[in-house]
Structure 1
Amino acid sequence: MRPTTLCFPINAAGEFLLGRKKRGFGVAKWNGFGGKLEAGETFRQCAVRELREESGLVAKEADLELVAFLDFRFDTHAELDHIGYVYLVHTWQGTPAPTEEMEPRWFSAATLPYEDMWSGDRLWIPMLQARRKISGTIVFAADKESLKYTEFTDVADLTESDSLTAF
């Protein structure tokens, strides 16, 4: 189970910054910015690093708002299974710019491109937009696209686990 992060910058107009993947797993899908933890890295350090690498934005760890813990499972592709902490960030430095990996673009809440995102996103992202904190499980079917099972629970508070940083 790979530890990962996702980070969604939100501007003063309430728009979400998403990135369209240019390569690798999930190519052509719009998503938040994130990826796998590097050895010895905390989840917040990973989120800040990935945001900078994939969008050019520089955020501070203290400005990340932890809003979800998600367990992503792939029914017949266990090598793709990963857990992830999801953050919102409203403060950063810089201007979003395309990178080798991502093409960033702002979307209003009403225009998020769900048809070009992971199928589970249309279920849990609106929960975050409603200011809910959640913990959830998303199981993808054998085709790695359609959903086999989902479960989401509202939580009062979330705390990153340090035990996953030493792998």
Structure 2
Amino acid sequence: MSPVSPYQVCVAFLTRAGADGRTEVLLGRKKTGLGSGNIVGLGGKLEPGETALEAIVREIEEESGLLVEPGDLTEMGLVKFAFPYRENWSQDSTVFVASRFSGEPQESDEVSPDWFPIDELPLHAMWDDAKYWLPAVLAGERVLGDFTFGEDCATVSSHELHDPAYHGR
């Protein structure tokens, strides 16, 4: 694993049964900041003194208006992102999933949320790393990964997925 980044973030993927019986995941088009224009999970940076779990509960509400109880979130692992050509973008992201929440997703200043069938993820419109780990997480697998982005700061130049069982997570 790469060293711990000073920039700690969290991301959540909320799921539900769609009207057609297929499982859907809530994603959103990022409207501002890093990754603007990409389709992303809900989440953001940890505030000082905040745990990843506290941060993700807050971020879900801020970005979508949905309320999630901390006990309904399952931590699914850690994904580390290195941006050698833009170091201030490097970050470690704790990944969560949940299928229990209350409310209906609402657009916020940061994200325009929408439901997507998990068997039709819009990977072409997401950060390049998502194709390597997001389908597995949505299938119930834990993830522990290192991703390095190339000079364009958009394409994964190298990645390594580790066995989460060997890292005490």
Q: Does 1:36 align with 2:36?
A: no
Percentage of identical aligned residues? 33
- TM-score, normalised to structure 1's length? 0.91
Match of 1:72 in 2: 81
CA–CA separation in structure 1 for the residues paired with 2:35 and 2:69: 27
Offset, 1:142:
1.3
Match of 2:13 among 8, 12, 16: 8
Match of 1:62 in 2: 71
Conserved 8 A contact 1:68-1:86: yes
Match of 2:33 among 24, 29, 50: 24
Match of 1:163 in 2: none
Aligned residue type for 1:80? W
Please list every run of 5 or more consecutive structure 1 residues that lacks an aligned counterpart in the other structure: 160-167
Match of 1:109 among 115, 118, 123: 118
Aligned length: 159
- TM-score, normalised to structure 2's length? 0.90
Match of 1:129 in 2: 138
Offset, 1:130:
2.7
Offset, 1:158:
5.9
CA–CA separation in structure 2 for the residues paired with 1:146 and 1:60: 35
CA–CA separation in structure 1 for the residues paired with 2:138 and 2:68: 20
Aligned residue type for 2:112? E
Conserved 8 A contact 1:4-1:84: yes
* Post-superposition CA distance 1:119-165 (Å, at most 9, x none): 01011111112321111001101111111111112323864xxxxxx
Please list every run of 5 or more consecutive structure 2 residues that lacks an aligned counterpart in the other structure: 1-5
- Counterpart secondary structure, 1:104: strand
